[in-house]
Amino acid sequence: MGLEQKLGNMGVVTMTLEQAVNWGRTGSMWPMLFGLACCAIEMIGAISAPQNDMSRFGMELMRASPRQSDLMIVAGRVTRKMAPVVRRLYDQMPEPKWVIAMGDCASCGGIFNNYAIVQGVDEIVPVDVYVAGCPPRPEALINGVLTLHEKVKKEKLSTWA
């Protein structure tokens, strides 16, 4: 990889296992490929449009299977009928896993304060980061993802090992 030449005479780099693992997790966080409503369009724009290009953060890959994904971006309103499906997808994801509630509807129900919509996806899955906006711009979603990365970097070895 050319890393040996660049390192020169440094020899060995030392860091804690905690830092190494957290760094690895932030660098290859794969979101699950699903969208529930209009926020999904902005999510697609954030992930694959060239002007935003999430692959800069190791996230260009959306996995269609929950078994291969680490991050669930709940993009859009969750109906009462959809809620068990979302929860099942979350349960099928392997540990470690994180959830971003993208947009007002996923965060708190948004403008849909009625019988059919779950008032915040945190009623069915534990949420790490809330992204405000209706819908949030791709930059806002990327900011949310980077906020999550900061959170992951602070995770303690004692909590997951």
Partner 1 sequence: MTTLEQTTQALKAKFGDAIEAIETFRGETTVVVTADKVVEVLKHLRETPALNFRWLADVTAYDDYPEEPRFKVCYQIRNLMEPLNLRVKAAVGGETPTLASCTSVYPAAGWQERELFDMFGITFTGHPDLRRILMPSDWEGHPLRKDYPLGYEEVQFTFNYDAIDKKKPYAKE
Q: Which residues bind partner 1 (CB under 8 A)?
A: 80-81, 87, 108-109, 113-117, 119-120, 122-126
Q: Which two tokens stand for residue 20?
A: 């190494």
* Minimum CB distance to partner 1 smaller for 27 or for 84: 84
What's the min distance (Å) between Cβ of 65 and partner 1?
Answer: 22
Are 71 and 31 a contacting pair, CB within 8 Å? yes
Q: Which two tokens stand for residue 126?
A: 């534990």
- List the one residue out of 90, 76, 75 whose CA is nearest residue 124: 90
Q: What is the largest CA-CA distance in the chain?
A: 65
* Minimum CB distance to partner 1 smaller for 54 or for 97: 97
What's the min distance (Å) between Cβ of 105 and partner 1?
Answer: 13
What's the min distance (Å) between Cβ of 108 and partner 1?
Answer: 7
Helix H or strand E encompassing 20: helix 17-27
* Minimum CB distance to partner 1 smaller for 81 or for 156: 81
